[in-house]
């Protein structure tokens, strides 16, 4: 267990916070509102200032008309670090707490990638618990790129049922030279394990699928939908904007009931890919169900490129800050905030079955982000506790400089 005395956390948190003059997007536009926070929840919201007893310890914060949105949900994060495709020196370190909160991210879902051997489910669960102790909302997936998936209990169903933070399996790689080349039967068995575990626990119970550059694209998922009784929502492909043709396949799968996920990675001019902002606009304009799209960052992951021999020829590192960058880029293209925001908040909350997340309403969790005029996170509250105030970091992880 970490020593609380070692953390840079304020010890004088008020029991109640009153936020005044917030321009609320919950994610729908609700106009100027006042909110009372307490016990980790939004206790009340309204246009009038509540008459509270003078004896109550209340901190009042005037947001001066700033936009107040639900905390962003980053559904694809390498909380223990990713990478390793070009030797142990290319293993990416784990991101620290404020890397998330400075980006307006209040909830993350952690996972393993290519390296699901040197890094395993034990380390992942420990990393999730550490982030929770530091005040972040965190869950995770058992498994990694390869089959059979790495687990704690010996099965996906056992992990999801008995390990509280684990809500599904992923990121299982398909159409990628780094995958274990899963067959249709293997994918169906894996999906059935996740689905039944979700039924038993009311967790997400999904298979989060890494999509590579391979020409087979989403063929395996289409076949699974064609021949099985499994609900389409169980299959959750990500990185679907990495090729333009793959994106079109993903839109059609969304029409069939799958929830598809975009990755906010950099795209070079002339590359056969869509930026997350371009893909999100195209998706919203396509007429596909708007509730079946989300955007994640791949934070802490290795954004690798490979030559024709499968050797890594370059790498970057995903950052949670890419989510706000993407959202602001979409807004700059003329999309209304209430239309763009669900892909970063309410949509992943519903897919992941995280009640109280992704919305602003009385009774919801007090995970809130106030944006400055440039769209950066100005104030961040998680369960009503301040992590950022006036753009300054108040809470840091134990080992942050």
**Contact predicate 70/105, CB 8 Å:** no
Q: Tell me how far apart the alpha carbons of residues 231 and 188 are, in angstroms, rounded to a whole number.
A: 11
Residue corresponding to tokens 């393993």: 112
Q: Tell me how crowded residue 397 is: count the other CB atoms within 10 A of its CB.
A: 23
Taking a C-beta distance cutoff of 8 angstroms, is the pair 225, 182 a contact? Answer: no
Q: For residues 111 and 51, what is the distance between their CA atoms, to the nearest angstrom?
A: 46
Rounded to whole angstroms, how far apart are CA atoms 334 and 74? 24
How far, in Å, are 41, 233, 346 from residue 167 at the CA level? 23, 14, 17
Helix 219-227 and helix 244-255, axial crossing angle in degrees, nearest 10:
20
Which residues, in sequence order, are CB contacts of 8 under 8 Å at separation 6+? 394, 395, 396, 400
The residues annotated as belonging to the active site are 298
- Distance (Å, whole) CA 171 – CA 77: 10
């Amino acid at each position: 267990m970490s020593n609380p005395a070692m953390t840079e956390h304020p010890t004088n948190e008020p029991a109640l916070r009153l936020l005044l003059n917030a321009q609320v997007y919950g994610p729908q536009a609700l106009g100027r509102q006042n909110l009372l926070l307490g016990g980790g929840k939004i206790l009340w919201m309204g246009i009038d200032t509540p008459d509270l007893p003078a004896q109550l310890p209340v901190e009042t914060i005037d947001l001066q008309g700033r936009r107040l949105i639900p905390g962003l949900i980053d559904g694809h994060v390498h909380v223990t670090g990713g990478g390793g495709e070009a030797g142990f020196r290319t293993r990416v370190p784990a991101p620290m707490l404020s890397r998330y909160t400075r980006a307006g991210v209040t909830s993350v879902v952690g996972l393993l990638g290519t390296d699901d051997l040197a890094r395993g489910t034990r380390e992942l669960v420990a990393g999730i618990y550490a982030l929770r102790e530091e005040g972040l909302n965190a869950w995770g997936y058992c498994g990694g790129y390869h089959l059979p998936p790495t687990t704690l209990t010996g099965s996906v169903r056992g992990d999801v049922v008995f390990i509280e933070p684990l809500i599904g399996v992923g990121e299982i790689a398909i159409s990628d030279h780094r995958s274990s080349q899963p067959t249709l039967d293997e994918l169906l068995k894996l999906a059935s394990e996740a689905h039944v575990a979700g039924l038993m626990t009311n967790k997400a119970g999904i298979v989060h699928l890494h999509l590579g550059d391979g020409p087979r694209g989403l063929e395996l998922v289409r076949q699974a939908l064609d021949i099985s009784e499994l609900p389409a929502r169980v299959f959750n492909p990500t990185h679907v904007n990495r090729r333009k043709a793959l994106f079109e396949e993903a839109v059609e799968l969304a029409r069939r009931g799958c929830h598809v996920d975009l990755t906010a990675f950099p795209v070079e001019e002339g590359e056969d890919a869509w930026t997350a902002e371009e893909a999100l606009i195209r998706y919203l304009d396509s007429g596909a169900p708007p509730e079946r799209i989300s955007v994640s960052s791949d934070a802490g992951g290795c954004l690798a490129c490979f030559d024709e021999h499968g050797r890594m020829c370059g790498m970057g590192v995903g950052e949670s800050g890419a989510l706000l960058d993407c959202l602001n880029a979409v807004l700059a293209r003329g999309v209304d905030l209430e239309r763009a925001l669900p892909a970063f908040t309410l949509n992943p909350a519903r897919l992941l079955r995280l009640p109280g997340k992704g919305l602003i309403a009385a009774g919801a969790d007090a995970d809130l982000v106030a944006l400055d005029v440039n769209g950066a996170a100005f104030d961040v509250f998680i369960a009503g506790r301040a992590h950022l105030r006036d753009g300054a970091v108040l809470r840091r992880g134990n080992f942050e400089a």
